[in-house]
């Protein structure tokens, strides 16, 4: 049955398929300590679901196995260098979007394939077999379980690394009541490398394997719903959705390859969008441009907030009229970030005059 499931997974486009037991992850206590230290910031849902994350039985009663899956979202052309340079915007008018978000929403892409694999699992297991699929939205400590099942190892940046796929891949899992032989765990292969720690713009990776999400640019531009703290705004640069710096410098990316499943869903227009064009979007324009993509998650106000910060960091005089108009927004969050950006740009212009 295990071989049949893995063959079916490969046929559905998954680059890797591993198995682990449904036993509680050994790292649940570390999650509690991390939450107690407040390092999750405003992500209250992590605290609310902490007990469920500590034991897969709370997610699917009677679960005996987890099927762990990987899908590559690596760039079409990956270099052979040990590490990729940090991506730079093409100009001061262009913003950066995290690589995983330059596609149609991966949840929607993976869901029908997970459903198809779940149907195979239930067919193989017979009557009474149950399964439940998750794509980073379920209360599962997926990276810890993925390491236990040999899908990859958790790097010093706290993300999962695969020796076959590098850092550029999505994780999904299917919990099932079917008992399957588990795969051996993967050991850590970071060695003495600390490139990810050095690359983090805000030193959010406070020590190897330790992340303070409140300082992470992915958190600040996606998860945080309120004002971005002024002290971290300069570090955002021109990023408007997420940050790839700690992933890009990892030497294991030399093994990354573009997966066939995600390629048809690539959105080249999301790579480095024009910031002034984004600032001009109304609600209808925002939905038309970003509907069905991960950027819908931050809504238009979150995007405008981030675009204002990016223009404040890199914009020139040409951005001032659009920012002045945005500063008159009825949304206090957007207006404040636009005013901040205007101050940043005018200060630069006066200094360079």
Residue 137, φ and ψ in degrees, nearest 5: -110, -15
Cα atoms found within 13 Å of the Cα of residue 94, Cβ hemisphere only: 12
136 as an active site residue: the answer is: yes
Distances in whole angstroms, Cα of residue 196 to Cα of each of 22, 78, 201, 221: 31, 19, 10, 19
- Across the chain, the runs of DSSP E, i.e. the strands, are 16-21, 65-72, 96-97, 131-134, 153-154, 160-161, 169-176, 205-207, 210-211, 239-241
CA dist., res. 134 & res. 68, Å (int) = 10
Q: In sequence order, which residues have a C-beta less than 8 Å from that of residue 213 and are 6 or more positions away?
A: 39, 40, 41, 43, 204, 219, 223
Q: In sequence order, which residues have a C-beta less than 8 Å from that of residue 290 and are 6 or more positions away?
A: 296, 303
Active-site choice (42, 51, 105, 136): 136
Question: β-pairing, 239-241 with 96-97?
Answer: parallel
- Per DSSP, the three-state class of 53 is helix
Which DSSP state fits 319? G
Q: In sequence order, which residues have a C-beta less than 8 Å from that of residue 291 and are 6 or more positions away?
A: none
What residues are labeled active site? 136
């Amino acid at each position: 049955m295990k071989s049949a499931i893995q063959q079916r997974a490969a046929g559905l486009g998954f680059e890797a398929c591993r198995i682990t037991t449904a036993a509680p992850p050994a790292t649940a206590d570390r999650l509690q300590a991390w939450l107690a230290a407040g390092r999750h910031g405003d992500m209250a849902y992590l605290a609310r679901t902490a007990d469920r994350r500590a034991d897969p039985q709370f997610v699917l009663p009677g679960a005996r196995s987890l099927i762990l899956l990987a899908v590559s979202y690596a760039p079409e052309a990956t270099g052979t260098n040990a590490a990729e340079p940090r991506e730079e915007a093409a100009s001061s008018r262009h913003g950066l979007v995290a690589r995983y978000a330059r596609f149609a929403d991966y949840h929607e892409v993976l869901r029908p394939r997970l459903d198809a694999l779940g149907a195979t699992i239930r067919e193989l297991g017979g009557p009474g077999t149950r399964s439940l699929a998750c794509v980073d939205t379920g209360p599962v400590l997926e990276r810890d379980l993925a390491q236990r099942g040999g899908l990859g190892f958790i790097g010093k940046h706290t993300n999962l690394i695969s020796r076959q796929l590098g850092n550029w891949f999505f994780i999904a899992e299917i919990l099932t009541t079917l008992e399957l032989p588990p795969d051996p765990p993967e050991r850590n292969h970071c060695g003495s490398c600390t490139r990810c720690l050095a690359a983090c713009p805000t030193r959010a990776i406070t020590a190897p394997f330790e992340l303070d999400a409140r300082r992470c640019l992915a958190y600040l531009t996606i998860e945080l719903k309120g004002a971005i703290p002024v002290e971290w705004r300069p570090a955002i640069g021109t990023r408007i959705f997420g940050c790839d710096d700690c992933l890009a410098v990892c030497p294991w990316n030399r093994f990354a390859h573009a997966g066939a499943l995600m390629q048809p869903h690539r959105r080249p227009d999301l790579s480095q969008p024009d910031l002034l064009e984004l600032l001009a979007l109304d609600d209808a324009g925002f939905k038309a441009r970003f509907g069905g993509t991960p950027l819908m998650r931050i809504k238009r106000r979150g995007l405008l907030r981030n675009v204002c910060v990016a223009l404040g960091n890199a914009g020139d005089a040409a951005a001032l009229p659009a920012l002045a108009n945005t500063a008159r927004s009825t949304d206090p969050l957007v207006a404040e970030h636009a005013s901040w950006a205007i101050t940043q740009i005018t200060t630069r212009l006066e200094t360079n005059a």
